[in-house]
């Protein structure tokens, strides 16, 4: 039981089982393990149980694989790695070294490790951490005078900047997404509402334009640079492969001509032993240059290969690539490149003809050249990290600049807007001072011109209005004076005829005419007084007094009038105002008189006067039970000389408005 059968090595079942259970570590392949033999040397081990059809155990097979040292340019190095893409051997961030008995045995990457182990570095510790200005070192005592050190570059600053950049860019992206989602939710996908949201302010437009330019430049520069990296990478690989192909062509050609007797198509070889010798020679040349070599005959059949496994097991065809065969055999080209792939693994392949001394082609040489994409990806990743960091600060600076520019521009517009709000025909409009000769300066200049023309127009309009007002006033005064003069003239003419005819009732008639004349003269005096008050309404003698005292004095005047019912609702607290007391009395007298006169004669006037105090303001409401004023006439009630009554000058409400 567990005895060894047909094994080349000296391993027993127990030894292999112990290695598998205690030393081996799993790979990404199920059932496949690896264990270290020595520094930088390891083996794969796998255990398979053999059973019969009934499930009875017949035996156990241990598979041991010792990987070869394969250069990076060979096509299958990843097939023999330890199965992890993030292994420290594949990392450019870490360097490591191994010491045995105080001496450096091996190292990875370009960190300047010491050739001898520093004395008393551990002082009995299992782990030892050492930090320098630019690197962090972690030492590990593996026992048996073996030490391992892992070194990582100290990049706290760049990592902090990178973290800030990613957080800042993520914040911008999340803010934009949140704003877009909010817009669609609030608009409920309504086209009209969406247009309203997209009508950005000038400030937001400036921010958006500057950030868009920064983002667009990031995309353009990043895309162009990445394409440049890829093209340069492929160009360098092609050049390197071309040089390696020419070197390999010469060495393979010399080996074939020196050690072989060939026909014109490599279809037969004189001695099998010599074939094996040449195969070893081909493998040797392949190992020296770190590339794989395939030789095809003139019919495109594979004759020799430095790595025959993929071809013998059907992974790759033993026939030459048809397109390459066409270019070399039919079109007689001296060299042909093409991209090939095995599954998802892509590589560049070079084909050249091998000629004898007479220039006759007797074979085709193929070199598949594989370079791991990780180097290119690492270079692109480093560039992207750099450009993201740079653009994050560009975004930040662009945002600050956009804020400054937008604030400056919108502040200028705000100043102009505030000035425009204060434009009034009745006041002096101030011009805006702007010392810079720019677009806003042109706008300010046009605004100042408009303000100047507006002031001129206002002055001319005021002059025209004053002249028109005086003309209307003169017409009204003439009309009001003419009304009493007519009956006065008729009365005097009648009295004169009575005297001339010696009428018997001359004395009585004289008395009546005298009374009429006195009445009309009083009316003329009243007209003159009203016009004088209206003209001198601005000449007010303002003092501070209690408004309720003035209203109570007016209330006493109407208390004895039984034909009118006035309901006074005044506050108990004093209401101090700063105004002309006479004007205030005239104001409320006119308003109460208008309210009484608006009530038809068949109704008893019901007047309500309510006083409301709000903060530093007082509101007096006067309501009556009259017929009111029609909508068409409401805009004219404060116009001088306008009245709806059969008598009066029409100056009462106009005077009241000017007093207020």
Q: What is the pLDDT of residue 93?
A: 75
CB 245 within 8 A of CB 338: no
- Strand order in 617-623's β-sheet? 565-569, 606-614, 617-623
pTM for the model: 0.46
Q: Provide the β-strand partners of residue 349.
A: 338, 368
CB 539 within 8 A of CB 532: no
Segment 100-118 shows an average pLDDT of: 82
CB 75 within 8 A of CB 307: yes
Q: How far apart are CA 381 and CA 383, in angstroms?
A: 5
Identify the sign of the CA torsion 382, 385, 387, 389.
negative
To which residue do tokens 């330019």 refer? 213
pLDDT in tens, 456-494: 777 777 777 766 766 766 666 666 666 667 667 777 777
Confidence class for position 111, pLDDT limits 50, 70, 90: confident
Count of CB atoms situated within 10 Å of the CB of 303: 17
Q: How far apart are CA 39 and CA 108, in angstroms?
A: 12
CB 653 within 8 A of CB 534: no
Q: What is the pLDDT of residue 18?
A: 87
Among candidates 452, 479, 405, which has minimal Cα distance to 641? Answer: 479
Give, rounded to a whole angstrom, the gap between the first and last alpha carbons of the chain: 124
User: In terms of pLDDT, which residue wins out, 487 or 367?
Assistant: 367
To which residue do tokens 């206002």 refer? 458
CB 611 within 8 A of CB 571: yes
Pairing of strands 135-143, 127-131: antiparallel
Pairing of strands 57-65, 32-38: unpaired
Q: Provide the β-strand partners of residue 51.
A: 57
Confidence class for position 86, pLDDT limits 50, 70, 90: low
Count of CB atoms situated within 10 Å of the CB of 214: 19
Q: How far apart are CA 298 and CA 268, in angstroms?
A: 12
To which residue do tokens 């073996």 refer? 146
Q: What is the pLDDT of residue 265?
A: 37
Task: Compute the C-alpha angle 208/214/216, nearest 5°.
Answer: 95
Q: How many residues does the chain have?
A: 660
Segment 151-167 shows an average pLDDT of: 77
pLDDT in tens, 14-57: 888 888 888 888 888 888 998 877 655 788 999 988 888 888 88
Contacts of 57 (CB under 8 A, 6+ apart): 49, 50, 51
CB 387 within 8 A of CB 221: yes
Segment 342-354 shows an average pLDDT of: 81
Among candidates 290, 379, 374, which has minimal Cα distance to 72? Answer: 290
Q: How many CA atoms lie within 13 A of 476 on its CB side?
A: 21
CB 70 within 8 A of CB 77: yes
Segment 574-597 shows an average pLDDT of: 80
User: In terms of pLDDT, which residue wins out, 636 or 604?
Assistant: 604
Pairing of strands 606-614, 565-569: parallel
Q: How far apart are CA 421 and CA 372, in angstroms?
A: 71
Q: Hey, what CATH class is 200-421 in?
A: alpha beta
Q: Which of 246-250, 348-352, 589-593, 646-650 has the highest mean pLDDT?
A: 348-352
Pairing of strands 103-108, 146-153: unpaired
- Structure token digits, residue 410: 């919108």
Q: What is the pLDDT of residue 324?
A: 92
Residue environment code for 365-395, b if the CB has 16+ CB neighbours within 10 A, otherwise e: bbbbbbbeeeebeebbeebebebbbebbebb
Q: What is the pLDDT of residue 322?
A: 92
CB 317 within 8 A of CB 288: no
Residue environment code for 540-564, b if the CB has 16+ CB neighbours within 10 A, otherwise e: eeeeebebbebbeebbeebeeeeeb
Which parts of 188-201 fold into alpha helices (H)? 191-198
Segment 548-552 shows an average pLDDT of: 83
Query: Is residue 545 scored above 80 in pLDDT?
Result: yes
Query: Is residue 264 scored above 60 in pLDDT?
Result: no
Task: Compute the C-alpha angle 17/20/24, nearest 5°.
Answer: 160
Which parts of 188-271 fold into alpha helices (H)? 191-198, 202-259
Q: Provide the percentage of residues in the chain whose pLDDT is more than 90.
A: 2
Q: How far apart are CA 172 and CA 162, in angstroms?
A: 15
CA dihedral 439, 440, 443, 447 (to 10 degrees): -160
CATH fold group of domain 540-659: Heat Shock Protein 90 (3.30.565)
Q: What are phi and psi of 560, to 5 degrees?
A: -80, -5
Helices (H) and strands (E) in the chain, counts: 13, 19
Among candidates 144, 353, 133, 159, which has minimal Cα distance to 264? Answer: 353
Q: How far apart are CA 364 and CA 353, in angstroms?
A: 4
Q: What are phi and psi of 77, to 5 degrees?
A: -70, -30
SS3 at position 76: coil
- Give, to the nearest 10 degrees, the angle between helix 506-535 and helix 652-659: 30
SS3 at position 471: helix
Which parts of 366-423 fold into alpha helices (H)? 373-421
Which parts of 260-315 fold into alpha helices (H)? 272-289, 309-312
Task: Out of 19-28, 56-65, 103-112, 394-403, pick the least confident.
Answer: 394-403
Identify the sign of the CA torsion 369, 374, 377, 379.
negative
pLDDT in tens, 216-231: 887 888 888 888 888 8
Q: How far apart are CA 363 and CA 351, in angstroms?
A: 11
């Amino acid at each position: 039981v567990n005895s060894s059968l047909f094994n080349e090595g000296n391993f027993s079942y127990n030894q292999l089982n112990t290695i598998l259970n205690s030393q081996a570590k799993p790979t990404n392949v199920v059932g496949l393990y690896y264990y270290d033999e020595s520094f930088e040397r390891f083996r794969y081990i796998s255990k398979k149980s053999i059973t019969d059809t009934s499930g009875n155990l017949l035996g156990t097979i241990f598979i041991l694989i010792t990987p070869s040292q394969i250069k990076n340019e060979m096509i299958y190095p990843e097939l023999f790695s330890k199965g992890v893409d993030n292994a420290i051997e594949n990392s450019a961030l870490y360097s490591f070294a191994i010491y045995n008995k105080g001496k450096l045995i091996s190292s990875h990457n370009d960190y300047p490790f010491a050739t001898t182990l520093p004395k008393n570095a551990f002082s009995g510790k299992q782990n030892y951490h050492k930090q320098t200005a630019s690197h962090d070192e972690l030492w590990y005592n593996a026992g048996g005078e073996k030490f391992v050190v892992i070194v990582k570059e100290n990049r706290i600053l760049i990592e902090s900047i990178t973290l800030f950049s990613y957080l800042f860019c993520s914040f911008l992206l999340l803010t934009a997404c949140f704003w877009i989602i909010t817009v669609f939710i609030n608009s409920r996908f309504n086209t009209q509402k969406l247009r309203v949201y997209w009508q950005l302010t000038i400030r937001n437009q400036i921010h958006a334009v500057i950030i868009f330019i920064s983002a667009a430049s990031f995309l353009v520069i990043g895309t162009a640079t990445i394409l440049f990296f890829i093209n340069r990478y492929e160009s360098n690989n092609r050049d390197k492969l071309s040089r390696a192909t020419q070197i390999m062509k010469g060495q393979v050609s010399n080996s074939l001509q020196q050690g072989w007797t060939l026909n014109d198509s490599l279809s037969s070889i004189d001695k099998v032993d010599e074939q094996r010798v040449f195969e070893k020679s081909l493998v040797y040349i392949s190992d020296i240059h770190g590339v794989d070599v395939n030789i095809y005959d003139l019919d495109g059949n594979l004759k020799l290969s430095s790595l025959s496994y993929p071809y013998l097991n059907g992974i790759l065809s033993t026939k030459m690539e048809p397109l390459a065969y066409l270019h070399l055999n039919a079109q007689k080209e001296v060299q042909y490149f093409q991209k090939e792939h095995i599954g998802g693994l892509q590589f560049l392949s070079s084909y050249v003809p091998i000629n004898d001394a007479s220039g006759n082609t007797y074979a085709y040489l193929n070199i598949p050249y594989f370079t791991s994409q990780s180097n290119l990806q690492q270079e692109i990743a480093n560039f992207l990290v750099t450009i993201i960091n740079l653009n994050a600060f560009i975004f930040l600076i662009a945002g600050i600049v956009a804020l400054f520019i937008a604030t400056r521009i919108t502040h200028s517009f705000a100043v102009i807007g505030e000035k425009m709000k204060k434009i009034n025909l009745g006041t002096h409009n101030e011009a805006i001072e702007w010392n810079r000769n720019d677009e806003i300066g042109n706008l300010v200049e046009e605004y100042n011109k408009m303000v100047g023309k507006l002031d001129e127009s206002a002055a001319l309009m005021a002059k025209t209005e004053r002249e028109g007002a005086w003309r209307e006033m003169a017409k009204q005064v003439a009309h009001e004076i003419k009304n009493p003069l007519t009956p006065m003239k008729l009365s005097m003419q009648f009295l004169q005829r009575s005297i001339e005819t010696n009428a018997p009732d001359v004395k009585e008639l004289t008395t009546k005419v005298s009374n009429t004349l006195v009445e009309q003269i009083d009316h003329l005096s009243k007209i003159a007084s009203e016009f004088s008050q209206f003209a001198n309404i601005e000449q007010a003698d303002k003092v501070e007094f209690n408004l309720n005292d003035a209203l109570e004095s007016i209330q006493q005047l109407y208390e004895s009038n039984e034909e009118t019912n006035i309901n006074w609702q005044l506050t108990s607290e004093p209401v101090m105002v700063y105004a002309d007391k006479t004007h205030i009395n005239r104001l409320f007298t006119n308003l109460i008189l208008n309210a009484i006169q608006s009530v038809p004669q068949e109704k008893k006037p019901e007047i309500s006067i309510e006083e409301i105090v709000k903060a530093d303001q007082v509101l007096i409401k006067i309501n009556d039970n009259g017929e009111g004023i029609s909508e068409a006439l409401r805009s004219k009630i404060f116009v001088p000389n306008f009245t709806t009554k059969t008598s009066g000058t029409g100056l009462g409400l106009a005077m009241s408005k000017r007093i207020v």
